[in-house]
Amino acid sequence: MSWYLTLPLVIPFVASIIAYLLRSSPLGAWVSIIGSGLGLIASIALMAVVLDAGVIAGQMGNWPAPFGITLVADLLSAVMVLITAITGFAVAIYALSDITERQAKLGYHALFQILLAGVTGAFLTGDLFNLYVWFEVMLIASFGLLILNGGKEQIDGGVKYVALNLISTILFLTGIGLLYGMTGTLNFADLALKVEEVENQGLLTVVAMMFMVAFGVKAAVFPLFFWLPAAYHTPSFAVSAVFAGLLTKVGVYALIRMFTMVFDHDIGFTHTVLLWVACFTMVIGVLGAAAQSDFRKILSFHIISQIGYMILGLALMTPLALVGAVFYLVHHIIVKANLFLIAGIAKRLTGGTEVYQIGGLYKSAPFLAILFLIPAFSLAGFPPLSGFWAKYIIVKATLDVEMWFVAFIALAVGLMTIYSMTKIWAEAFWKPHPDGIEPDLKTLPNKPAQIIPVAGLAILTIIIGLNPEPFVIFAERTTAQLLDPTAYITTVLGETP
């Protein structure tokens, strides 16, 4: 089973080395595409094995858990690895026409593959210290991608991004040290058993709050989100898309993993804090989006508001709410990455990203307009697209526990999301271009490289929306594993709790 776990990690690292050696050649981009394609195949194989065999684990170097490095894949890990590979493959193709020759020579394709490896490693690791290691791999690669253009705006966004993430790292490491001192282990499966034996449960709650803040920075929740809108609109559109789709979701994944498996001893306190955080994140994010006029800044603030829905599912901690959180994770990665890719095409066609200064896309590029409407309507929660089902499950879970005001907030944020998407549609697509420019999709260099991944992600959004039942059933199975980690613990440690 170890090969199924290691291949999704080995492939991007090998691809990054080859891409760096070929960075001055056009072949570097194709190495990235081939590497991403092979990574997708490996992730599909991993998902098939997990669906068939249940939780699988590999002990690296044959060191038994909890002493060695453990890689683990349950349904949540496997689906996150798969969706990472899908997004990475789409963005790798898109980069053919988005990444300049200078950026390629500076190592874009190598950094991109390292980033995919870091994200994948974070989803597959079975212990806290190696989660920290993969976070650092992500941070180094993402910082390199962020400042690749070398402009003032990129450097400014990169400094803010790294500064807050370093604070998160310090909190994370401090929490790791304290938790290890209390339990003598950092392995997730072993922690699930050892935290029950901790005498000072109050101190354990304090450590849990440290992890909540550390992972909250990664997830860009209120009030720790300021780095995201300051950074995500500055790099190339391919970089923005992979950041928007994946990076914050690693933080959400870490919160779900830790606050269902390890820190479930004081739900009345920790999950109430998460509930307030979720509500403020939804509201502040959508209000920030409504106040923006730049295409990417609007989308960046909407990342924050949508993260709030996922955290709300975790905060409620009911089976249905966690189903909604898992479903929302998968749906949002696809939709948000796609919207950033579309923003890049709009920039190439109209010359800008300020929605009040561009226009004419519906008339001259109707196919692109349709491709925008699909993820935009899905993000806003229009039926029968994937976003509708994600929001429906979350709102229903909220109503089931009679949190009427929280349900109202979730619905109101959905309406405000419609407002933002309508603003982009009206200004960028519907009205004529203020300078009289007639955008033409045929003028795009390497046009298929941009349209194919956008169309592919849009089709995936439609498939999930029109046939949600298998995805909901999958989310239910995933939730069952989260709420009852017996299979996870038994597979990793070889013992029944």
Instruction: Dump pLDDT digits (tens) for 400-456.
Output: 998 999 999 999 998 898 888 888 888 888 887 776 666 655 555 556 778 889 999
Phi/psi of residue 245, nearest 5 degrees:
-75, -40
Q: How far is CA 479 from CA 80, 318, 326, 475, 488, in A?
A: 14, 9, 8, 6, 13
Q: Tell me: do 44 and 94 sit in the same domain.
A: yes
Contact predicate 211/173, CB 8 Å: no
d(CA 460, CA 76): 19
User: Which element (helix H / strand E) includes 70?
Assistant: strand 70-73
Q: Tell me: do 98 and 189 sit in the same domain.
A: yes
Contact predicate 487/54, CB 8 Å: yes
For residue 281, give both structure tokens: 């994140």
Q: Tell me: do 321 and 408 sit in the same domain.
A: yes
- Name the residue with higher pLDDT: 231 or 274: 274
Burial class (CB in 10 A: 0-12, 13-18, 19+), 415: exposed
Q: Tell me: do 223 and 294 sit in the same domain.
A: no
Residues with Cβ within 8 Å of 274's Cβ and at least 6 positions away in sequence, in order, are: 212, 255, 259, 311, 314, 315
Provide the number of structural domains found in the chain: 2
Q: Tell me: do 132 and 180 sit in the same domain.
A: yes
Q: Tell me: do 257 and 280 sit in the same domain.
A: no
pLDDT of residue 469: 92
Residue ending a domain, among 232, 248, 265, is 265
Q: State the average pLDDT for the chain.
A: 88
User: Which element (helix H / strand E) includes 165?
Assistant: helix 152-183
Residue ending a domain, among 246, 265, 284, is 265
477 located within any domain: no
Q: How far is CA 93 from CA 234, 258, 309, 450, in A?
A: 20, 34, 30, 7
d(CA 12, CA 36): 7
Q: pLDDT tens digit string along 150-203?
A: 677 778 777 777 888 888 888 999 999 999 999 888 999 999 888 888 888 888
Residue 215 pLDDT exceeds 80: yes
DSSP-based three-state secondary structure for 88: helix
Range of the domain at 188: 1-265
Contact predicate 130/216, CB 8 Å: no
| Among 95-99, 121-125, 131-135, the least confident range | 95-99
Contact predicate 95/82, CB 8 Å: no
Q: Tell me: do 138 and 283 sit in the same domain.
A: no
- pLDDT band per the 50, 70, 90 thresholds, residue 283: very high
489 located within any domain: no
The beta-carbon contacts of 193-199 under 8 Å, at least 24 apart in sequence, are 193/489, 193/493, 193/497, 195/262, 195/263, 195/265, 196/265
